[in-house]
Amino acid sequence: MTETPTLMQRIAGRGPLFGCWLEMFSPIAAEVVAQADYDCVLIDPEHGPGSDLDAVALMHAVQGRACAPLLRVPSNGEVALKRALDIGVAAVEGVDLLFVGPFDLSAGVGHVGKPDHPEVRAMIARVEAAAQAAGKRLGAIPTPGRSVEELVAAGYGLIMVDADVLLLRDAARASLAKLRAEK
């Protein structure tokens, strides 16, 4: 039996890989997303309502698939990082990938909701150059001014293209629009 390659091995081997944000903390939604064959899911207790125990349930829901669970820690504090390690997600040495969060970055420098502001784009360009110089891969999310295709062209190895909440909302809207158009 051959071992499934790690997420980083898959990024290095073929990138880009595509992931889905999990914000609902629903194990059922997590399992459905994993069955759709996303390369990874990102469990987000920083912006979602979930706890460490909820994160474990989501990791179990995607287990057995090639969909790797990633965890966004709710803070950079020592306790949050130790808890993430204790539940089994940060079990790697060193830094493999730098994830650029353009919305958080823009908020942090006073341009809330403007991830494509020139100052933010300049900061992202510096991160890209530093990552390339260090031989590290990059991850990000698309923005209104930077599409998935542009991120792929810029060499990003991991792109978080969807979120469970948005997928559900968009599917519900499409279904309702179709029903109303048929009336």
* pLDDT value for 85: 87
Q: Quick: pLDDT tens for 91-135.
A: 666 777 889 999 999 999 999 999 999 999 999 999 999 998 988
In sign, the C-alpha dihedral spanning 32, 35, 36, 37 is: positive
| Structural domains of the chain, ranges and CATH numbers in brackets | 8-182 (3.20.20.60)
- State the pLDDT at residue 109: 97
- The pTM of the whole model exceeds 0.85: yes
Alpha-carbon distance of 73 to 118, in angstroms, equals 28
CB count, 10 Å around CB of 74?
A: 18
Number of Cβ atoms within 10 Å of the Cβ of 1 = 3
pLDDT digits (tens, 9 = 90+) for 34-61: 999 999 999 999 888 899 999 999 999 9
Rounded Cα–Cα distance for residues 5 and 102 (Å): 29
Helix/strand/coil for 28: helix
pLDDT of residue 106: 97
End-to-end CA distance of the chain: 54
